[in-house]
Amino acid sequence: CLESPIETVTAAARMCHEAGVKVLLNDSPFTPSLPAELVEASDILLVNEHEMVQLLGIDEPENDDWDGFDWNHALEAMRGFGFEQAIVTLGGDGSVVLDSTSATPIQRIAPVRVNAVDTTGCGDSFMGTVLAGLASGMALSEAAELASYVSAYAATGYGAQASYSNAAQIREAFAK
């Protein structure tokens, strides 16, 4: 993520990329102008829907209708920007995985409904879970689906780290 100086983030991404490590770039805090070197060294982009349209210079759907949005156009714009894979979070409406390397290049990840009391830390828990999922061999869409549960669970507690839990507690909370 971009909480460190952009030069530092770019150098870290370049070193990891050159070492064969997959790099996920979370454009947060959002910057609409990413250095070409950073984009080239990154494999996956993580943004929310508003950041995506601003970054790619495309229009948001009327009335926030992300179900009717042209995700094929977004995928092509994302590829033109330099990313073959991306996750676009939609807040309480779930997320969309754009993955031109997959047999299913556009995958809508359903939201996990909870009684949210505080969304502080939900983005961090989402990103951390995606990274853990990828590190354990999950496909990008599987990691994003798991992240939906973890971030939804985080919204049921107050604060960031205080609202995180362990795998057993999360499984128990969503057991059917």
Three-class secondary structure of residue 86 per DSSP? strand
Annotated catalytic, 93? Answer: no
Q: Which of 27, 43, 118, 124 is catalytic?
A: 124
Which residue, 48, 44, 47, is CA-closest to 83? 44
β-sheet bridge partners, residue 97: 87, 107
- Give CA 103 to chain center in angstroms: 20
At residue 35, φ and ψ (nearest 5 deg) are -60, 140
Q: Are 56 and 77 in contact (CB under 8 A)?
A: yes
Catalytic residues: 124
